[in-house]
Amino acid sequence: MPKLIDTHCHIHSKEYDFEREIFYKNAIKAGVTKMICVGINPEDSQDAIDFAGKHEGAWASVSLIPHEAKKGQKALAKLEPLLDMPKVVAIGECGLDYCYMGSSRISQIEALHFQLDLAIKHNLPLIFHVRDAYDDFWPIFDEHKGAKGVLHSFAGDQKTMQKAVGRGLFMGLNGIVTFSKNQQQINTFKNIPLDYLLLETDAPYLTPKPFRGKVNEPMHVRLVAKFLADLRQESLELVAKNSSSNACKLFKI
């Protein structure tokens, strides 16, 4: 059974009431041997770090998510001290979300600049959350030379994919792959070069088929991998091997 990595989940989050220890064990049993717990604000990032500290196969990412960007400098200033803690491997999910406008455009842009600077200063990869905002995202990304990372929950078109590849950015695919009906998206999923592919769940969200409607958990990254491999007419082994080695290289896990 090929080993898989869930590069983006939120099972540490105290906001949800579910059995995270069972989720962790299920994942390990299913061959999902590594996972990155993504914090969305300083407090939640601390919870991710605590969870990673107690679980061999878990790592943490710290951030201020776009829809909480309105918390501003006060929240952003709390991120840097967290970067020195054990098992912190990335900054994110940061970015721009103009679909769900939880914070103003200006505050989202400010938070993105701040976290890009922080990542470059600490030589850490970024996990980007970009929705309906690529026109603003690319010029900001390009201003920060040396930034590296992944476009999480990637569901863009072919052009966006080419822009990502041209900048050395990975694309993180999740349950959307299993239930998308958008032909343009599906074609892009088929064409992402293996060298730029990461797998994730975004658990507890975006549960893949056939478990739609249930709570998502990291072990389901296996369903994403299998569905994607079939879609691309590649073997599960090939998809697993490449996406896992990409994740290990990017996050140094």
Q: Write out the residues near Zn ion by the rule CB under 5 A.
A: 202
Complex with Zn ion: residue 2 or 211, whichever CB lies closer? 211
Beta strands in the chain (DSSP E): 4-9, 32-38, 58-62, 88-97, 126-131, 149-151, 170-173, 197-199
> Alpha carbon of 73 to those of 5, 114, 124: distances in Å?
33, 9, 20
DSSP 202: -
Residue type, 144: H
| Comparison of 15 and 237: residue with beta carbon closer to Zn ion | 15
Q: What is the DSSP letter of 216?
A: P
Q: Determine the Cα–Cα distance for residues 157 and 242; give it in Å rounded to an integer.
A: 22
Choose between 47 and 202: whose C-beta lies nearer to Zn ion: 202
In the complex, minimum distance from the CB of residue 67 to Zn ion, in angstroms, rounded to a whole number:
11
**Distance of alpha carbon 169 from alpha carbon 188, whole angstroms:** 15
Nearest residue to Zn ion on Cβ basis: 202
Least gap, CB of 141 to Zn ion (angstroms): 19
CB of 11 or CB of 161, closer to Zn ion: 11
Which residue do the tokens 């990372």 mark? 149
- Taking the least distance from each CB to Zn ion, the nearer of 202 and 217 is 202
Contacts of residue 46, Cβ cutoff 8 Å, sequence gap at least 6 = 39, 82
> Measured from the CB of residue 205, what is the shortest distance to Zn ion in angstroms?
7
To the nearest whole angstrom, how small is the minimum distance from the Cβ of residue 237 to Zn ion?
Answer: 27
CB of 52 to Zn ion, least distance (A): 16
